[in-house]
Every structure is written in structure tokens, then in C-alpha cells.
Amino acid sequence: MKLAGILLVIAATTAIGWEWSRRLRLRTRQLKDVRVALEALETEMVYGLTPLQEACYRVAKQVRDPVGLLFRTFADNLDKEEKLASEVWGETIKKMRLILEFKQGEWDVLLQFGQTLGLQDLENQRKHLRLALKYLEQQESDARENQKKHESMYKSLGFLCGILIALIMI
């Protein structure tokens, strides 16, 4: 019985370490996907002169979920609600907080970018988009570096904590 408990503790702490590691990878990937999505949105809006809703549908098809879901949900809600695009963007961002692995600064940048949607001319929207992209590129680089530093450490730490707890239980 004691052996089963020890094995269960080791398995649980190892799983926790692997989950932390997975979240690091997810954050890096999702930051890259958001950056790619915003670059595609810029292309659609500035060069293709595509309406915002259609541009978001196209962008959603080009990136993986959950980032694709962000743009798809935004485009769907633009059609349903009679609100400004910036308000719909803010509501969509709030809904996505549980799904995407972003930090507060990244959410703030996305919300700030959304404040310009549909309210300014194309050139000003492009400037705000470029600022958001620059920040997200830096965050992606930092996340990638953080992932390299900590990914294997979290996996090992989870296992080693389980061993430590098991030794204490004996």
C-alpha cells in the first residue's frame, strides 16, 4: 500500500513538472501564432483593402487554434453585435484569457491594439499594428529563451520533488 502511494506521488509530481514545461512551449508557440496572425491581418487590411470581418476570417484560417479561434470568434461577434469593433475585440480578448497562455503585458498590448480597430484610418491602424508586432516579437524571443532555460528543469524538478516526498514518506 505504501509503495502504491509513493508511486502515485512520484507520478503526480512528474506530471506537474511536465505540465509546467508544456505551458512554456504553448506560450512560445501562441506568441508566434499571434504575431503571424497580426502580420497576415496587416497584409489583408493594408494591401488587400479587405474589410475587417473578412480579413479576420481569412487570418483565422491561416493560423492554428487557439489563435485562429480568437480571430474567428472576433469576426463572428462583429456580425452579431451592434458595437464598435474595438468593443467586440475587448470582449473577445476577455473570453480568450482562459485559453491562451499569455502574460498580462501581452494581453494589454492586444487590448490596446484593439482600441484602434475600425476607429482610425488605415495608416494609423498600421502604425498601432506595427507597435504591437514589435512588442510581441520581443516577448516571443523572451519566451523562447525562457523555454530553453527552464523546460527540462521543470520536468526534472517535478520528478525530483516526487522522489523527495517519497523519501520523506518512508
Distance CA 101, CA 103 (A): 7
Residue reference for cell 507597435 = 131
pLDDT (0 to 100) of residue 2: 85
- Structural domain span for residue 159: 2-169
pLDDT (0 to 100) of residue 84: 87
Quote the crossing angle between the two packed helices 122-169 and 104-114, to the nearest 10°.
160
Counting Cα atoms < 13 Å in the Cβ hemisphere of 99 gives: 12
Provide the percentage of residues in the chain whose pLDDT is more than 90.
Answer: 72
Reported pTM: 0.85
Domain count, the chain: 1
Cis amide leading into 66 (omega within 30): yes
Query: Could you tell me the end-to-end alpha-carbon distance of the chain, in angstroms, rounded to an integer?
Result: 12
Whether 9 shows a pLDDT value over 80: the answer reads yes
Distance CA 10, CA 18 (A): 12
